[in-house]
Amino acid sequence: MMTGRQITDSPDVDSSTEPPAVPKEVPPAGPSIGPSTGPLPGPASRPPNLMFDTTPWKQTKTKIEIPRNGWVYLGCPKSNAVCYTDFHPEHQDGLVVKVHGATMTRDVGTGTKETVAGWAAYWGGPGNEWNFSIEHKTIRTNWVATLEACKYALELFASGQDTFIPPLKTLVLKTCNKHLRDAFEREIPRLLREKWKSKYRVTYRDRLLDLYKCIETIKEGYGHTSVKLWFVEQEADIKEAVDLLDPILTRA
């Protein structure tokens, strides 16, 4: 059940004159979440760097996230230094989306309990129709739920990638899930080197393969957008996505 839609917050661009990059129209909901199809991606000439480097922002003590016009843009780490104007808080060709997945055992009455999973993504708002929260009753781990949040968010972005003007150069997935960090940082690059031949269970490998195919589709699409993962330590750092998901997990 998708509820988020019912919730309704590069090159340097001079934000004082240019309109923000927003899609001309919101694509329809419903990216599929299914098994991998098609040939396996070939080995990369070098391991891909899928992690988001926050160093430039820390060095200049500038904000990484700039909410504006219903989206969360990447802040400009060179603001007030070498940008075209003194007022240049964000790069309009970079977006941040907060993703979250979790499971919970809840009482459904008459002494019966059930385990339910869910995932959510916060693109900005309130009012951004790309925000979503989804319930699922067969997934049993937070890690898989968070991975599905990323995959669903990437499929949603791919369906509307060509509507952003100017095209987006960077899409940052923000998460506090350590297993997802390990997947982006180590497991996917290693599986690429090994041509996806792995000692892992097939279901685990295929989940990572599905995720990587989404990343490659976006990279090869309009604007050649790079996907990066931003790992944070606390759920408080992705509070908006957590708040989207909590009502689904806690309802009777």
Residue 52 lies in a domain: yes
The number of domains in the chain is: 1
* HSE of 216, CA atoms in CB hemisphere, 13 A: 16
Alpha helices (H) in the chain, listed in sequence order:
55-60, 142-160, 178-182, 188-193, 202-220, 239-250
pLDDT of the residue at 122:
97
Residue 31 lies in a domain: no
pLDDT of the residue at 3:
40
Beta bridge partners of 116: 104
Which of the residues in the chain have pLDDT under 50?
A: 1-20, 24-36, 81-82, 84-86
N-terminal to C-terminal alpha carbon distance within the chain: 15
133 near 244, Cβ under 8 Å? yes
What DSSP line would sit under 126-147, residue for residue? TT-TT-EEEEESS---HHHHHH
Q: How far is Cα 189 from Cα 47, in angstroms, rounded to an integer? A: 5
Residue 11 lies in a domain: no
**What residue has token string 């004082």?**
16
85 — phi, psi (to 5°)? -135, 165
**pLDDT for 140-150, tens place per residue?**
889 999 999 99
Which CATH number characterizes residue 230's domain?
3.30.420.10
Q: How far is Cα 252 from Cα 243, in angstroms, rounded to an integer? A: 17
75 — phi, psi (to 5°)? -70, 165
Residue 8 lies in a domain: no
pLDDT of the residue at 211:
92
Residue 12 lies in a domain: no
Residue 155 lies in a domain: yes
Residue 185 lies in a domain: yes
Q: What is the Cα 183 distance to its own chain's centre?
A: 14
Q: How far is Cα 12 from Cα 131, in angstroms, rounded to an integer? A: 27
pLDDT of the residue at 68:
86
Residue 164 lies in a domain: yes
Dihedral angle, C-alpha 64, 65, 66, 70, nearest 10 °: 160
* Residue in 51, 235, 245 with CA at minimum distance from that of residue 139: 245
Q: How far is Cα 24 from Cα 160, in angstroms, rounded to an integer? A: 9
State which residues form the domain around 67: 43-250
pLDDT of the residue at 82:
45
Q: Can you read off the two tokens belonging to residue 10?
A: 């590069």
pLDDT of the residue at 72:
93
pLDDT of the residue at 37:
52
pLDDT of the residue at 40:
56
